[in-house]
Amino acid sequence: MRSSVIKKGTWLASFMLAVCLCAHAEVKLPAIFSDGMVMQQQTKANLWGTATPNKKITVTTGWNGKQYVATADKNGAWKLSVSTPEAGGPYSITFNDGSKKTLNNILIGELWLCSGQSNMEMPMKGFKNQPVENANMDILRSKNPNIRLFTVKRTSTFTPQTDVAGTWKEATPANVRDFSATAYYFGRLINEILDVPVGLVVAAWGGSACEAWMTADWLKAFPDAKIPQSEADIKSKNRTPTVLYNGMLHPLIGMTMKGVIWYQGEDNWNRAHTYADMFTTLINGWRAEWKQGDFPFYYCQIAPYDYGIITEKGKEVINSAYLREAQAKVEHRVPNSGMAVLLDAGMEKGIHPAKKQIAGERLALLALTKTYGIEGVNGESPYYKSMEIKNDTVIVSFERAKMWISGKNCFESKNFEVAGEDRVFYPAKAWIERSKILVKSEHVPHPVAVRYGFKNYVEGDVYCDGLPLGSFRSDNW
């Protein structure tokens, strides 16, 4: 009798141990690796997670039945990469370290990270009192199982995180309504032209500073950036340096993707003198951490807006054209980058322009032409090259303008100014002659400098191939 009890007790203990081990053995994956996800096609795509320490994990890819093996380290962490096929699906992936876990409804296609501040975060439904142009009808027509959406939950923290909160969703009216408008319009055009699945991962926070998306190491070159030394130093959840990198970006690093789109800069408008260097450092830093080479990085130039509205009474209104100028420098410094000019798509009284389709589709034009090699269309705006002076007239030349310059209103522009040696700028008459713009003012008989659209708010009126010229100045005053 006693022997039978002992045997029964031993069996029960063994059974309970096996149950515990099986429960512990289940592979755990970050939120970005879940049902409905999109993986980058035709590459070695990273996967990682946790499992039983020191145990082997077998990963089987549903598109070809191939098995990959990794061994969890002493903390249970593991990582491997799998070969992905041409775009297609849906497929499944099975993870097994003694207990199976299967992800279903996986598509293979083009995966993009979409980041920045409120103009990237702004959903298709808009903000209250701030709609997105044509959004209601575009939401209605948005059902598309080949476009998948993932929004990273806002997280601000002193300590780098290992996971984010969020779920993959298919494009349906209900899901698109709450998703980034700029990112959606970008992805919609990529999907339409390439006819492949598209995955969009949005990590954005309204009002966030560039510094918040960077590490303390990268910010050493910028002494004005007050790097927190503890959680208590986080005075602003979206502006304090490093906190959004830690909470929202760090968990995504290593996710194999095609590239990044970015819409940020409004929060840095009052410190434009550091932005070109800082933004360049951010891009180079992200690329170094990702270890995926110089992946494409396309970004929006901030749209015109009257920043006097948010300037404290009695203080000088800072001209955001200096920030736009800093942004324009970056695409000439950083390889495999490009800037979507929005000089014709701002709102004088609204910092969140309604024309999000323009923003998203101009980013997509950059990707389609520069990354995907679509020929026959132009994705880059014309760019100021040089000027020469003949008597009382400034003659302006441009780069990236093979089809020459055109005006919104026939062959004239209302956005040019010239100055003489006194450095006082006067509105000028500007007209187009073949590939040049000629500029003069009766108030400046001997011009030495020219500016275009170099104000907080302006409605751009110079184009090439339907893409607007960005604001510029010939001087460095």
Cβ density class 154-176: b for 16+ within 10 Å, e for less = bbbbbeebeebebebbbbeeebb
Predicted confidence band of residue 411 (pLDDT cuts 50, 70, 90): confident
pLDDT of residue 24: 53
CB of 363 closer than 8 Å to CB of 370: no
pLDDT of residue 5: 42
Tell me: the pLDDT tens digits for 331-364? 999 999 999 999 999 999 999 999 999 999 999 9
Mean pLDDT of 167-180: 98
| Cα–Cα distance for residue pair 36/51, rounded to 1 Å | 22
Q: Where are the domains of the chain?
A: 27-107, 108-371, 383-473
Tell me: the pLDDT tens digits for 86-102? 999 999 999 999 999 99
Return the ∠ at Cα 399 (arms to 397 and 401), rounded to 5°.
95
Q: Is the pLDDT of residue 126 over 80?
A: yes
Q: Is the pLDDT of residue 466 over 80?
A: yes
CATH homologous superfamily, domain 27-107 = Immunoglobulins (2.60.40.10)
pLDDT of residue 476: 96
The token duo for 188 is: 């919609």
Share of residues in the chain with pLDDT > 70 (%):
95
pLDDT of residue 18: 40
pLDDT of residue 42: 98
The helix (H) or strand (E) run that includes residue 198 is strand 198-204
Cβ density class 94-113: b for 16+ within 10 Å, e for less = bbbbbeebebebbbbbbbbb
Q: Which residues contact 364 (CB under 8 A, 6 or more apart)?
A: 185, 186, 187, 189, 190, 193
| Cα–Cα distance for residue pair 58/73, rounded to 1 Å | 14
State the chain's mean pLDDT as an integer.
Answer: 94
Mean pLDDT of 67-82: 97
Residue that wins the pLDDT comparison between 240 and 407:
240
Tell me: the pLDDT tens digits for 425-447? 999 999 999 999 999 999 999 99
pLDDT of residue 150: 98
Tell me: the pLDDT tens digits for 9-21? 444 444 444 444 4
Out of 3.50.50.60, 1.20.810.10, 3.40.50.1110, 3.40.50.1970, select the CATH number for domain 108-371: 3.40.50.1110
Instruction: State the CB neighbour count (10 A cutoff) for residue 392.
Output: 15
Instruction: State the CB neighbour count (10 A cutoff) for residue 458.
Output: 20
Sign for the pseudo-dihedral over CA of 132, 134, 136, 140: negative
Q: Average the pLDDT over each of 25-29, 403-407, 462-466 and give the range with the smallest value.
A: 25-29
pLDDT of residue 3: 46
| Cα–Cα distance for residue pair 119/180, rounded to 1 Å | 8
Predicted confidence band of residue 149 (pLDDT cuts 50, 70, 90): very high
Amino acid residing at 104? N
Predicted confidence band of residue 84 (pLDDT cuts 50, 70, 90): very high
Share of residues in the chain with pLDDT > 90 (%):
93
Q: Which residues contact 326 (CB under 8 A, 6 or more apart)?
A: 272, 273, 275, 276, 279
Q: Cα-atom radius of gyration of the chain, to the nearest Å?
A: 26
Domains 27-107 and 108-371 share a fold: no
pLDDT of residue 10: 45
Q: Which pTM was predicted?
A: 0.94
Tell me: the pLDDT tens digits for 256-267? 999 999 999 999
pLDDT of residue 25: 55
